[in-house]
Every structure is written in C-alpha cells, then in structure tokens.
A and B are shown apart, each in its own frame.
Chain A
Amino acid sequence: MNAIIALSALAILTMFFGVIQKKSVLLPLILSGLIIVFFLNVIEWGTFKHYYNEMFIADNFNIAFTAALILTTFLVFIFSALYYRTVKRPLEDIYALMLFSLIGGITMASFGNITMLFIGIETLSISFYILAGSKKFDVASNEAALKYFLTGTFATGFLLFGMALIYGVSGSFNLQAINSYIIANKESIPTLFYAGMILVFVGMAFKIAAVPFHFWAPDVYTGSPTLITAFMSTIGKVASIAAFYRLISITFLNVHDFSVDILMLFAIATIIVGNLSAMTQDNMKRMLAYSGISNSGYLLFAIIAMGPKSAGTLLYFSISYAIATITAFAVIMLVREERGTFSLQDYKGLAKQNPVEAFAMAVAMMSLAGIPPLAGFMAKYNIFSVAMNGGYVWLVIVGVIGSMISVFYYFKPIIYMYFHRADAHKKIETTKAYKIHILLVSILLIILGFLPGLVIGLL
C-alpha cells in the first residue's frame, strides 16, 4: 500500500516538473523516487495487512512481486535516457504513464477482490494502449496502439463477463468468499460457474499472451517504440502472471482439477506455437515477441503444478525473464538507432566493433535460451522440477523440447555477432554511462544465476 501511494505522488510530481519544463530534473527524480518506493515496499515484509474490506491484501507474495516490478521499471528507466536522447521536450507524459501502469501492475499482484483485479488490469492496459501509440507520427506505432486497444478491450469484455457469472453463482466478489462457496458446495457447483471460470481464464490468457490468445503480441510489440516494448513485455507479463497465480491459488484451488486441463492446453500450445514461430523471424523485435509468448508457456507450469515452491519459482522466473528481455531490448534500441532496421543482418560483426554491447546481448540470449550458469537456466530448471514434482511428466517433456527449439533462434544473433564479418558498418558510438549500465545488467543476470535459492526461498 505504501508503494502505491508513494508511486502516485511520484507520478504527479513527474507531471508537475514536466509541465514547468524542468527536463533535467525528471529522470533523476524518477530513479531516486523508485529506489525510495522500493525500500518503502520492502520494509512491510512479513506484516500481513488488508485494506478496505479485503480489497487490497499486502502479504509477502504482493511485496515480493511489487519489488520485482519496481526493479524492472527501474531498469527500463535507466535506458530511457539513451532512447529519448534526441527528443527535446520533457516527455513527462510518457514517464508518468509508465509509473501509472506500474501502479496498475502492483494492484494486480495484491488484489483481494475480483473487482480490484479488474481495476488493476485496466490501469495497466489503458496506459499501455497510449504508450504503444506514443510515437505519434509513426504508422506502425499507431497501428500497434489501435490493434492493442481493440483486441484488449475485447478480452477485457470476456474477463468481465466471466467475473459476472462467478459473482452470479457465488454471490461475492471476495476471493476468500468465493473459495468458501466452492468448499461448501463442492458437489453441486452449477455449470455456469465453470463457464465463468473459462471466460476469466480467456481474459487472463490474453493478458499474458498465451496461445491461442497471442495474436496481438507480435504486431503490438513490433510496432510500439522499443523502450515501450521492453516495458510492456516485462511489466505486463510479470503483473499478469502474478495476478493469475493469485487468482488460482486463493480462489480456484479447490476446483483445480478443472482448471488444470484448460491451463495445460494453453501451456502446451503456447510453447509449441511460440517457439516454432520465433524460428522463422528475421526481425529481432518480433523474435523477442514470440520468445515472450513461449516464456508465458513456461510460466504457466508453476500455476498448473501449484506445488509448495510454485510462487517462489514464478518470482525467480519472472525476474530472470524481465532482466534478460530488458538487456536484449537495450541493445536492440541502440543498433536500431544507428543502422535503421531491426533486421538480424545489422548484428553482423557487432562483437568486433562494440564488444561490451555484444557481450550483454549474448548473455541475455543465452539466459533466455537456458544455458547454465545463467539465471535463465536455473529458472527453467526450477520450473520444470516444480512441474515434475506435481506429476506432470508430459508437460515437462514438451517444455524441454520447446527449450531445445528455442536454442536455435536465440543463438542466431550470437552467431551473427561473433562469427560473421561486418559489412562496412561503422562502430556504434555510445556513452560511457550506457556501457556501464548494460554491463551491470548483464552481470546481474550472471549473479542471479548463482543465487536461485535466495529468491525462491522468499515465498
């Protein structure tokens, strides 16, 4: 709760300093503000509180995921100075919208009432719709915003209809109350309740971009400004998966036999379609969009298995995915600015000319592919072992096959960077600060690979 109040104040301050044209104040203000919010959030650790008739529940799960979301936003803001370095105006509207969508994400990780989930999703999504179109004079950005808006509102309709059906049967929006309804009427739950559950799952699957509700993701991720893509693909996914886990672990755990079938269908289809589609992409941004889709398949494993270590593994996987994706996008936005396209061909010989950036990109790709000892490997290993302990052997086999396919496309940029001769590209000039930041982020990814127990043990 501290985090939400402080972040709202921070966002309004950002708007104020932007409108009085203090451009140089903005980024330091936001970065230091995010650090303060991070600590304000962490000091609540271990205290279980709920606010406003259990609308908002501040437990350890919420605090851990809030910390992960703030960390991710912090990393995105670090690279925003590079991305917007040619823009003269203060950009306070974009920064404020990013902070507001972060508030939506935090709400999604801490709801105790389905209406609160809906408010969180809408706060997050409406900010994303605007941010996707924030490159006003670019046709692709406009297309992304419109496509995201139309499909997103449609999915929200499904979600809302599902909530209405669940409310109609159980008589409450409160997660605990719905759970006690399920326990009391285990034998005689009407079909309408299951219909509501399916509709809610459809809405949530859209938000995490799980197959077959993934069609918006490649176009939206490709069309949006690169910094915003990095923000959307990490914050959106982490917050949605946290909301999904919370919904199922508190409310639908006693009808989990029913949810498992649907979720397994989602997970298997997501891993197969996501990985196979990513293989044929030449556009780096589009490839990472499909990589994001396939990663939500792995994330679903933890929700399907629902073991004692599920929450911790979900947190660890989310963090490692978010950091690796942001690192990759930070390099992509640099190469794109210098060479004009997102094509793989632009990465030829990058290792010779820009060794630091090529190293960061290689670390990010290897982490996403799951090469030990990086964070991505430990994340995948743990999530597979959670699924294995739950007895879902076939799911793990599909996951491993998908992971093997993914090595093919994650290694493509590495091969282009290290083993291809550059064709007449110049060295890309970067600032010293950028080099330090990107090195720090990739080292964070390596360190995180050695400390999985620390994160997983939290929850």
Chain B
Amino acid sequence: MDKNFIPEDYIPILVQSVVAFGFVAVTMLATHFITSKRKRIRTLHKDENFECGIEIKGNARFPFSIRYFLIAILFVLFDVEIIFFYPWAINFSEMEWMGFFEMLLFMFFLLFGFYYIYKKGAFDWKHDE
C-alpha cells in the first residue's frame, strides 16, 4: 500500500461534496422555475401534512408516560445483544465447547441485567411514585 498521499487523492471527496450541494441547489432552483406562475392559494387543507388521507388530530408533541420510553430503550438494548448470536451461530462448530461456555457467560450477564431492571421495577406498571 502506497502510504504517501497528496492532496489530489482527495478529489473524489471534493466531487462528492460538489454533487451533494449541487443537487440541493439544482432541485431548489428547478422547482422554482417549473412550478406554475399562478398566484398560490393557501387553504387550511393545502397547508396540512398529507398523512395517508387521514385527518390530523392534535399535536405530536404531548407528554407521555416515561414508561414507554423505558420499555423502548430496554427493547433496543436486548435487541442489539441478540445480534451477537448471529456470528456465534455461524461459527458454532469451529468454536466447540469453549465458544459454548463463553456464550453461556454472555447470557449470564444479559440475564443478570434483566434481573436487575426487573428488581428495580422497570416493568412495574401499576406502582406509581
């Protein structure tokens, strides 16, 4: 590998940034010229977000229970840990018993975390502080 770099090596990056900015500029200008020159009419329905044809009700920014957030973040945590099982399953036969016990250790930590949050009351929906 040739490790001496000169500024010319970075031309692809320059090209990419020019394309990225150029796309934004061109689309904005193009839509400006393509759209009709008639006076724009603003109505209540025209300004609305189009959401599958269903009428919008209220605002999305309202307070909701922190428990939803907690459940969501715990789901992400456990979901990501499952990813470690895929490479392990592929290499299962090569790693033999050592790999099996290492995965058991990993599962132990995972289940300990589950036990911890369970004991901490993360799933206790009835109890309100």
Residues 90-120 of B, flagged 1 when their CB comes within 8 A of A and 0 if not, give 0000000000000000000100100110011
Interface status of A408 (Cβ within 8 A of chain B):
no
A-B interface pairs (CB < 8 A), number: 25
Please tell me if the beta carbons of A170 and B116 are within 8 angstroms of each other in the complex: no
Please tell me if the beta carbons of B1 and A190 are within 8 angstroms of each other in the complex: no
Size band of the interface chain A makes with B? 10 to 19
**Given the interface contacts A19-B119, A19-B120, A20-B119, does A181 sit within 8 Å of B3 by beta carbon?**
yes
Residues of A within 8 A of B115 (CB): 19
Q: Choose from A15, A19, A185 the contact partner of B3 (Cβ within 8 Å).
A: A185
Q: Within the assembled complex, what's the spacing in Å between the Cα atoms of A171 and B119? A: 47
Please tell me if the beta carbons of B4 and A188 are within 8 angstroms of each other in the complex: yes
CB distance from B11 to the nearest CB of A (A): 15
Residues of A within 8 A of B116 (CB): 15-16, 19
Residues 1-25 of A, flagged 1 when their CB comes within 8 A of B and 0 if not, give 0000000000010011001100000
**Given the interface contacts A12-B109, A16-B112, A19-B119, does A192 sit within 8 Å of B5 by beta carbon?**
yes
CB distance from B18 to the nearest CB of A (A): 21
**Given the interface contacts A12-B109, A12-B112, A16-B112, does A171 sit within 8 Å of B120 by beta carbon?**
no
Q: Choose from B1, B4, B119, B120 the contact partner of A185 (Cβ within 8 Å).
A: B4
Q: Within the assembled complex, what's the spacing in Å between the Cα atoms of A233 and B28? A: 51
CB distance from A106 to the nearest CB of B (A): 19
Please tell me if the beta carbons of B3 and A171 are within 8 angstroms of each other in the complex: yes
Please tell me if the beta carbons of B109 and A170 are within 8 angstroms of each other in the complex: no
Residues 152-193 of A, flagged 1 when their CB comes within 8 A of B and 0 if not, give 000000000000000011110000000001000100101010
Residues of B within 8 A of A15 (CB): 112, 116
Please tell me if the beta carbons of A169 and B112 are within 8 angstroms of each other in the complex: no
Q: Choose from B3, B109, B119, B120 the contact partner of A169 (Cβ within 8 Å).
A: B3
Closest residue of chain A to B5, judged by CB?
A190
CB distance from A18 to the nearest CB of B (A): 9
CB distance from A371 to the nearest CB of B (A): 48
Q: Within the assembled complex, what's the spacing in Å between the Cα atoms of A257 and B119? A: 56
Q: Within the assembled complex, what's the spacing in Å between the Cα atoms of A188 and B4? A: 8
Residues of B within 8 A of A12 (CB): 109, 112
Closest residue of chain B to A190, judged by CB?
B5
Q: Within the assembled complex, what's the spacing in Å between the Cα atoms of A181 and B4? A: 11
- Residues of chain A in range 87-121 having any CB-CB distance to chain B below 8 Å: none
Residues of B within 8 A of A169 (CB): 3, 5
Please tell me if the beta carbons of B4 and A190 are within 8 angstroms of each other in the complex: yes
Q: Within the assembled complex, what's the spacing in Å between the Cα atoms of A170 and B120? A: 48
Q: Which of A169, A181, A190 has the most CB of B within 10 A?
A: A190
CB distance from B40 to the nearest CB of A (A): 41
Q: Within the assembled complex, what's the spacing in Å between the Cα atoms of A171 and B115? A: 43
Residues of B within 8 A of A20 (CB): 119
Q: Within the assembled complex, what's the spacing in Å between the Cα atoms of A171 and B5? A: 12
Residues of B within 8 A of A188 (CB): 4
Closest residue of chain A to B109, judged by CB?
A12
CB distance from A47 to the nearest CB of B (A): 25
Residues 187-225 of A, flagged 1 when their CB comes within 8 A of B and 0 if not, give 010101000000000000000000000000000000000
Residues of B within 8 A of A168 (CB): 5
Residues of B within 8 A of A185 (CB): 3-4
Please tell me if the beta carbons of B1 and A171 are within 8 angstroms of each other in the complex: yes
CB distance from A182 to the nearest CB of B (A): 11
Residues of B within 8 A of A19 (CB): 115-116, 119-120
11 further interface pairs, Cβ-Cβ under 8 Å (given A185-B4, A190-B6): A12-B109, A15-B116, A16-B116, A19-B115, A19-B116, A19-B120, A170-B3, A171-B1, A171-B3, A185-B3, A188-B4
The 7 nearest A-B residue pairs measured at CB: A19-B119, A190-B5, A19-B116, A15-B116, A188-B4, A171-B3, A171-B1
Can you list 25 A-B pairs with a CB-CB distance of less than 8 A? Answer: A12-B109, A12-B112, A15-B112, A15-B116, A16-B112, A16-B116, A19-B115, A19-B116, A19-B119, A19-B120, A20-B119, A168-B5, A169-B3, A169-B5, A170-B3, A171-B1, A171-B3, A181-B3, A185-B3, A185-B4, A188-B4, A190-B4, A190-B5, A190-B6, A192-B5
* B contact set with A: CB distance below 8 Å: 1, 3-6, 109, 112, 115-116, 119-120
* A contact set with B: CB distance below 8 Å: 12, 15-16, 19-20, 168-171, 181, 185, 188, 190, 192
